[in-house]
Chains A and B, each alone.
Chain A
Amino acid sequence: MNCLINLKINGESYQLNVKPNLLLLDLLRYDIGLTGTKRGCDTGECGACTVLLEGRPINSCLMLAVEANEKNILTIEGMAKDGKLHPLQEAFIEKGAVQCGFCTPGMLLSAKALLDANSNPQEEEIKKAIAGNLCRCTGYTKIIKAIISAAEKIKRREQC
C-alpha cells in the first residue's frame, strides 16, 4: 500500500505518493530528478548518496522515502543560494578538491554540516566529519585544504 508523504527538499514542498520500499535516494534521483545525489554502494559505506536530513548528513541509500515524511532534506542542488555558490563550493573549485566528481556532492554536504556546527574545525575534526564519504581520486589532501579555506572564507565574510 502506498503512503502519502509531505516533505521539503531544498526548501520546496513536495507531496508524494510512494511505495514503502522506495529509498530516499531513488525518490530524489528518479521521482524528483535531483540526480546530483549519487548511488555508489547501496550499503551506506561510500557516502556518495549523502544528503542533509534536518541539517545532518545521512546516507539516503539507507533511508526509506517514507521515513522522510515531514522532514527537511538538503541535496547538493540546494547548496548554492540564489545563484551564488556556497563558500565550500567555491573552495572546492579553487583548491582542486574535485576530480571525477562522483563523491563531490556527498562530500560537500558532509563538509557543510561540519562547518554549520563548528566554524573553526581542526584537521582531525575535518577528517572525522568526511570519513563517511569515500573518494578514490583525490587522496583527500585537497578536499581538506578546501574545507579549511571555506571555513576561513565564511569567517571573513561574517566579519565584514
Chain B
Amino acid sequence: MLNYFVVGKPIPRVDAIEKVTGKAIYIDDLMFPNLLYGKVLRSKFAHAKILHLDTSKAEKFPGVKAVVTGKEFATNFDNPLVGSPLADQPFLAVEKVRYIGEPIAVVAAINQEIAEDALDLIRVEYEQLPAVLNVEDALKNDRPLVHESFNNFRCSPGFKPVENSNICCYIEITNGNIEQGFREADFIFEDIFTTHSTQHVPMECHVAIAQFNPDDSITIWAPDQSPYGGQNLISAALKIPESRVRIITPPYIGGGFGGKLNLSGLMPIVAIAWKTNYRPVKIVLTREEEFVSTTIRHSSIIKLKSGVKKDGTIISRYAKLMFDTGAYADIGPIVLGKAATGSLGPYKIPHIKVEGYCVYTNKAIAGAYRGFGIPQVCWAYESQMDIIADKLGINSIDIRLKNIVEEGYITPTEKQEAHAVGLGKCLIKVRENMSQKGEGKIIENRKRGKGVACGYKTAKTPSGANAFVKLNSDAGADIFVSSVEMGQGVNTIFAQIVAEELSIPFNNIRVLPADTNITPFFPASNASRVTFYLGNAVKKAAQDIKEQLFKIAKDILQADKEDLALEQGLFFVKKEPKRKVKIMEIMKKTYPGGISILGRGTYYQYKLGSFPSHVKVEIPTTEVWMYASQGVEVEVDTETGRVKILKVVAVHDVGKAINPITCEGQIEGGVLMALSNAMFEELLFNEKGKILNSSLLDYKIPSALDMPEIKAILVEEAHREGPYGAKGLGEMVAVPTAPAIANAICDAVGIRIKDLPITPDKLLRALKNKCGDCGV
C-alpha cells in the first residue's frame, strides 16, 4: 500500500468557505451592464401545428427590446437542429410543437416583469394533432408520428431512427445461444417491470446569460455540465466554427444530476441573443419551467426472462427495454445504449439477448439522469433476482455471490475483460452491516424486513481529457480543466492530486471555472468519469511540472535526477538530505523576473477496434466499472401502506477514495435521492400530456424528516489505470436503492411491487387483495 500525504485524506472541501459565507457565485448572481431579461413562450399542446404566430403587439410593448420566433431564427440559420447523436430539435418550434412546454418564441425586455407581460401579448393559433403519450401506443401501427421524417436530421454513425415510426433508436445485443440457454434451464422466470419519470430538481434552476458579438460569435454563461458539449451542438447547428461559440461556466453550479447537460432547456437563449443587437440577455427558468422544459428521467417498460439452474446459476437472460424518450432524442439513444449493455446485471450469463427501443412520444424530453439508464434496468434485474432466490430457497446475498462477474471474466454485453471487481466485497460488507433479526421493538401492524440489491455501471468511453496546471512562483498552483464543480467535490480532489504530485500546500491550489476559450477539452462532468479520466490528466499535468522541476533541481543541487527526491515542497538528495532546495526557491532563483511553470496532461482511453462487433449499434464501452451493493431495512405500516426506511447500508467500490468525506457525501445524498425517486417522486402527466405536478408544492423531494439512517461504506478495489486506483462513484449511488427497498418490503409483508414508484396506495391495495379483511 502506497503512502500518500494528501490523497485519501478526509480534507475539507476547497469551496466550502465561499459557500458557507454566501460568497460563492452562481450564474444568477452575475449582473451585466445593459442586461436584458428573456422570457420564453411555450406550447400549450402536446402535438399541434402552429398555424399563425403574431408577435407584433409584444414587439411594441414599452420596454421590450426584441422578440424572436422559431420561423425567423430557422430561416436565418437554414433550419438549425440541435442534438447528438441525433440532431432533431429546433432552438424554437417552427411549424409544429411536439410537447407541452416546448419553446415557441422569446421576448427580451429591460426587466422580467415587462418580458412576462409581453408574453401575454403574443397570439398563437394552433391546429391540434393527435398525440402519442406512452411507449406502447407509440409503437402501434396506426399511431401518430412525432416526427414525420428523419431525412433532415444529422445522425452520428449507427444512430439512424427507424423511418416511418416513432422508434428513435433500436439496439440489439446477443451472445451465446439464448434459445439453448432457456432449454437448458431448470426454471424460467418472466416478469415485466416498469419505472417512472422523475425530475432532477437541482436546487438551482436552469439559467443562462448570452451575448452575440459583432464578430458573429456568441458567448454563453451557463451552469452547464458540458461546456464543450454545448459548444459543439451550437456550432454544428448554426454552422459556425466552434471557436465562435464560447461557453463560460460559473465558479459554482447548484446541482446537476445530468439535468444540466449540453445546455438542455437553455437553447432558446441563443435565438433571442441573436436579436438583441449585441446586448446580453439573461433567462432564468422558474421552477415550473424547470419541470416542464428541462430533461427528465426516461420512464421504461422492461421485460426480463431468465433461465436458471436449480442451484441458482443464471444461464440465460433476455431483456426487452422500451424507453420513453419524449419529443426529441436529446441524449436518449445513448441512455438506451448504456441501459442495454447494463441490463443483465453484473452476472456471468453465457446466453443472452437484449432488444432495446428508444421511443418518441409527445412528452417532455427525457435525457441524462443520475445513473443514465442503469437504475431502470437494475430495478428489473435485482427485483427478479430476489424472485429467483425466493423460489429456489437460496439466501439473497448468496445467490448474487454465486453469479457475480469476477476479475478477467469477459462480460457478455460489452465483450470486455472485467477488472477491479469489488462487488463480492461490497455484498459481504452489506451482510455484515445489516441489523440482525430481532433487533428493534415489534409493534402491532408494523412489519419489518430487509432487502439487498447490487449493481454495476461503466464510466463512459471514449473520454478525451486534457488538463493544464500552472505552478506559480510562490509554489501555489492553478488547475485549468473543463470539469464543473456542481457539488460533487471535483475541485477538491483535483487540488489534492496536484498537492500530492507536487508536494505543495493543498490550500494554495485552485481550480478555475471551465471556459471553452481557456480551459482545455473535456466532454462533460457526467457519466461518473471526471475522477478517472480528468483525474488522470490532472495527475499527468502535475507530473509534467514535476519533471521540469526535477531538471532544474538537479542543476541547483548538482545531483543526478535519480538521486533526488521531492517531499513536502522540498527537493533533496536522498543520501544527503541536507542538500536541499524548496520549490519556491527553485522558481525564484531560476527566474528572478518571475515565471509560471506550465504542465500539460492528456489522458485518452479508447481502444480502436474494441467495439463489440455483436452490438448492432456502435456503443463504445469502457474498462471502468463501478460496483456497489446496498442493503435496506424497512418497517411497513400494514394499516396505511406507508413504508418507513429504517436504515440503508450503502457499500461502494470506488477503487480509491481520493477524498473519503466527499465520497461519503455523494453516497448519502445519492441514496436519499434514489429513495425519493423510488417512493416520493413521479411526474404525473394528464391525458393531454400536461405535467400536473410542476412545482415543489406538488412534486415533493425529501426533507431531513424523510431521511433514514444511511451508513456509507467504501470498498477500494484499485483500478490499474485509475489515478491512485480511483474509479467513479456519482451515478452508482443511485442505482441499487430502489430494488433493495422493494426486496425489503417483500421480505416484510410478502408483496412484490414491480411498478415504480412504491406508493402507500399501491402497497395498501396489494395488502388488502392479499389478505382480504383479515387486517394482516
Contacts and interface: CB of A to CB of B under 8 A. Distances in A.
Given A38-B254, A40-B203, A96 B287 contact: no
B242 interface: no
Interface stretch (A63-71, A138-146, A152-160): A138-146
Q: Which of B10, B24, B670 has the most CB of A within 10 A?
A: B24
B19 interface: yes
Nearest to A86: B20
B664 interface: yes
Contacts of A104: 19-20
Interface in A120-151: 126-128, 130-144
Given A101-B24, A136-B202, A136-B203, A131 B671 contact: no
B252 interface: yes
Nearest to B15: A101
Interface residues of B, number: 57
B255 A36 contact: no
A93 interface: yes
Contacts of B669: 99, 135-139
B670 to A, nearest CB: 7
A41 to B, nearest CB: 4
Contact of A38 (B12, B203, B286): B203
A52 interface: no
B255 A137 contact: yes
Interface in B286-317: 286-287
B611 interface: no
Nearest to B17: A93
A43 B29 CA distance: 20
Given A38-B203, A92-B20, A136 B255 contact: yes
A99 B704 contact: no
Q: Which of A29, A38, A102 has the most CB of B within 10 A?
A: A102
Contacts of A105: 22
Contact of A132 (B15, B25, B702, B703): B703
Interface string B87-101: 000000000000000
B487 A41 contact: no
Nearest to A33: B31
A46 interface: yes
B19 A98 contact: yes
A13 to B, nearest CB: 20
Contacts of A130: 703-704
Contacts of A96: 10, 12-13, 661-662, 664-665
A139 B202 contact: no
Interface stretch (B208-216, B324-332, B693-701): B693-701
B21 A45 contact: no
A60 interface: no
Interface in B677-705: 695-697, 701-705
Contacts of A43: 287, 695-697
A103 interface: yes
B119 interface: no
Nearest to B659: A96
Contact of B20 (A35, A89, A138): A89
B100 to A, nearest CB: 20
A40 to B, nearest CB: 5
Contacts of A3: none
Contacts of B22: 34-37, 75-77, 79, 105
A127 B704 contact: yes
Nearest to A91: B20
B672 A139 contact: yes
A102 B287 CA distance: 15
A150 to B, nearest CB: 11
Contacts of B205: 39-40
Q: Which of B20, B667, B710 has the most CB of A within 10 A?
A: B20
Contact of B703 (A41, A48, A131, A142): A131
Contacts of A92: 16, 20
Contact of B287 (A42, A89, A98, A144): A42
Nearest to B255: A100
Contacts of B12: 93-94, 96
Q: Which of B252, B665, B701 has the most CB of A within 10 A?
A: B665
Contacts of A143: 704
Contacts of B664: 96, 142
B669 to A, nearest CB: 4
Contacts of B454: none
Interface in B254-270: 254-255, 257
A138 to B, nearest CB: 5
Contacts of B252: 100-101
Contacts, number: 169
A45 B696 contact: yes
A85 interface: yes
B486 to A, nearest CB: 6
A48 B696 CA distance: 13
Contacts of B202: 100, 102, 136
Contacts of A137: 203, 255, 487, 665, 669
Q: Which of A34, A48, A89 has the most CB of B within 10 A?
A: A89
A40 B20 contact: no
B704 A144 contact: yes
Contacts of B665: 96, 99, 137-139, 142
Contacts of A35: 22, 25, 28-29
A4 interface: no
B255 A79 contact: no
A9 to B, nearest CB: 12
Contact of A136 (B29, B489, B673): B673
A108 interface: yes
Q: Which of A76, A92, A137, A139 has the most CB of B within 10 A?
A: A139
Contacts of A32: none
Q: Which of A36, A37, A79 has the most CB of B within 10 A?
A: A36
Contacts of A131: 703-705
A124 to B, nearest CB: 9
B203 A100 contact: yes
B716 interface: no
A94 B487 CA distance: 16
B668 interface: yes
Given A43-B696, A96-B661, A137-B665, A126 B19 contact: no
Given A100-B253, A134-B203, A41 B695 contact: yes
Contacts of A126: 704
Interface in A1-58: 29-30, 34-43, 45-46, 48
Contacts of B255: 99-100, 102, 136-137
Nearest to B701: A134
Interface string B185-205: 000000000000000111111
Interface string B622-662: 00000000000000000000000000000000000000011
A80 B253 CA distance: 23
Contacts of B467: none
A144 B214 CA distance: 51
B254 A85 contact: no
Contact of B668 (A45, A101, A142): A142
B201 A136 contact: yes
Given A36-B22, A108-B20, A130-B703, 11 more contacts: A36-B21, A38-B203, A43-B695, A45-B697, A99-B487, A99-B489, A100-B255, A104-B19, A136-B669, A137-B665, A139-B707
Closest 8 CB pairs of A and B: A36-B22, A100-B487, A101-B19, A102-B254, A76-B22, A139-B668, A99-B487, A139-B672
Interface of A: 29-30, 34-43, 45-46, 48, 75-77, 79-80, 85, 89, 92-94, 96, 98-105, 108, 126-128, 130-144
30 contacts: A30-B31, A36-B21, A39-B205, A45-B695, A46-B203, A46-B696, A48-B203, A75-B22, A79-B21, A80-B21, A85-B20, A89-B20, A89-B21, A93-B16, A96-B10, A98-B13, A100-B203, A100-B486, A101-B252, A102-B254, A103-B203, A134-B203, A136-B201, A136-B257, A137-B203, A138-B665, A139-B667, A139-B671, A140-B672, A143-B704
